[in-house]
Amino acid sequence: KYDLRWRINLIVTSDHGMTEVSRDRIIVLENLVNSSWYTFPQLTPIGHIYPLPGRLDDVYRKLKGAHKHLSVYKLHEVPQRLHFSHRGVRMPPIVLIADLGWYVVQSRPESFSDLAGQHGYTPDNADMNAFFVATGSAFPRGTEVDLVHTIDIYALMCNLIGLPAQAHNGSLARISHAIWGPN
């Protein structure tokens, strides 16, 4: 009865992309460094290492260059593009970054066959891009955009409903091409 297609705006997105992982692409930390020297609280492509007191340099030296698909940084060395700028107690002294498709674990798991995909890799990997689909009166028909930064969607939504955006790290200017098309 009501044709709402052009009276509402609908945005569908995701919070991250995915990439394929396999049992053949596991980096096992206990094979590289003494596991009693640190804690490793998570299994992830970006690992957080908390060395025990007095073990920071030992752990770092053992891991740095130990695997060709693993980058190792002290916290202050992490590339700026990854925004590890908040140096609080939650930030790890050592950061491990696995190459796309590789996975960091403490020890080789008994069963790994059901894990086929993973997220959490660095945002410069195209596989980690979220999808973004929008339709409605604010979006020109047939417009395709190359990349939408997820952090900008908040600014877009506030603009669409006429609310001022609270402080955030997104940019309406960076996403405006999705609404008004390319300049």
Give domain status of residue 35, yes or no: yes
- Do 86 and 37 lie in one domain? The reply is yes
Domain count, the chain: 2
- Do 114 and 155 lie in one domain? The reply is no
Rounded to whole angstroms, the Cα distance separating 129 from 147 reads: 8
Residue 135 or residue 73, greater confidence: 73
Give CB contacts under 8 A, 24+ apart, made by 139-148. 139/9, 139/178, 139/179, 140/179, 140/180, 140/181, 143/178, 143/181, 145/177, 145/178, 148/13, 148/175, 148/178
141-163 pLDDT tens trace: 888 887 888 889 999 999 999 99
Give domain status of residue 50, yes or no: yes
- Do 143 and 96 lie in one domain? The reply is no
Residue 45 has what pLDDT? 80
3-state secondary structure (DSSP) of residue 179: helix
- Do 28 and 86 lie in one domain? The reply is yes
- Do 102 and 34 lie in one domain? The reply is yes
- Do 161 and 112 lie in one domain? The reply is no
Q: Which domain holds residue 98?
A: 20-118
- Do 71 and 156 lie in one domain? The reply is no
Does the pTM surpass 0.75? The reply is: no
- Do 73 and 143 lie in one domain? The reply is no
63-117 pLDDT tens trace: 999 999 999 999 989 888 887 766 666 788 999 999 988 888 888 776 666 667 7
Phi/psi region, residue 156 (left: phi>0; alpha: psi -120 to 50; beta: rest), is alpha
- The torsion angles phi and psi of 172, rounded to 5 degrees, stand at -65, -35
Nearest to 3 by CA among 136, 142, 133: 136
- Do 29 and 69 lie in one domain? The reply is yes
Give domain status of residue 170, yes or no: yes
Residue 6 has what pLDDT? 66
- Do 79 and 57 lie in one domain? The reply is yes
Q: What value, to the nearest 5°, has the Cα angle with vertex 37 and ends 93 and 120?
A: 45
Residue 30 has what pLDDT? 92
- Do 81 and 143 lie in one domain? The reply is no
Q: Which of 2-11, 35-44, 45-54, 113-122 has the highest mean pLDDT?
A: 45-54
Q: Specify the CATH number for the domain of residue 63.
A: 3.30.1360.180
Nearest to 44 by CA among 66, 64, 65, 16: 16
